[in-house]
Structure 1
Amino acid sequence: MGATTIGALVGGAIDSMSGDDSAADGAIIGAVTANVLKVAVPVALTYAVGWLVLRGISEGVEQVFGGGEGA
């Protein structure tokens, strides 16, 4: 709830700087953006950490078993 409120306040403030209309539409866009980021950022970070772990495992296996060269 806090991120949604902050997103609405920031969106409303940014939208009201133009002076064309009320800040309501900017507040709605800011709140929606905050909610999307609450889901997207953890998913992206989890993917990145998982990819790095898998890459590290494959490098470790390659070093231990010699990369399949020679017999």
Structure 2
Amino acid sequence: MGATTIGALVGGAIDSMSGDDGNADGAIIGAITANVLKVVVPIAVTYAIGWAVLRGLGEIKDQVFGEES
């Protein structure tokens, strides 16, 4: 199943727990959230890895050449 479908199912299930009305609006919100997360999560992970690599390279440079004041 695609992320959009799973997001719609989870959103619909959460919305139906309240018992107010149908679960269509929860399914729509879940599908939109899943699509946003498909874009945001890879960007955030890439940024975090890049930041960690640059910080590690800075630490290695400081150890090799000595810390700068």
Task: Give the TM-score normalised by structure 2.
Answer: 0.94
Residues paired across the two proteins, number:
69
Structure 2 unaligned segments of length 5 or more: list them. none
Q: Rg larger in 1 or in 2?
A: 1
State the AA in 1 paired with 2:4: T
Structure 1 unaligned segments of length 5 or more: list them. none
Task: Give the TM-score normalised by structure 1.
Answer: 0.91
* Residues in 1 aligned to 2:68 and 2:14: alpha-carbon distance in whole angstroms: 57
* Residues in 2 aligned to 1:68 and 1:20: alpha-carbon distance in whole angstroms: 62
**Structure 1, residues 20-59: CA drift from partner, whole Å, max 9, x if none?**
1100000000000000111111111000000000000000
Q: What percent identity do the matched residue pairs reach?
A: 77
- The runs of at least 4 consecutive aligned structure 1 residues that moved more than 4 Å come to none
State the AA in 2 paired with 1:7: G
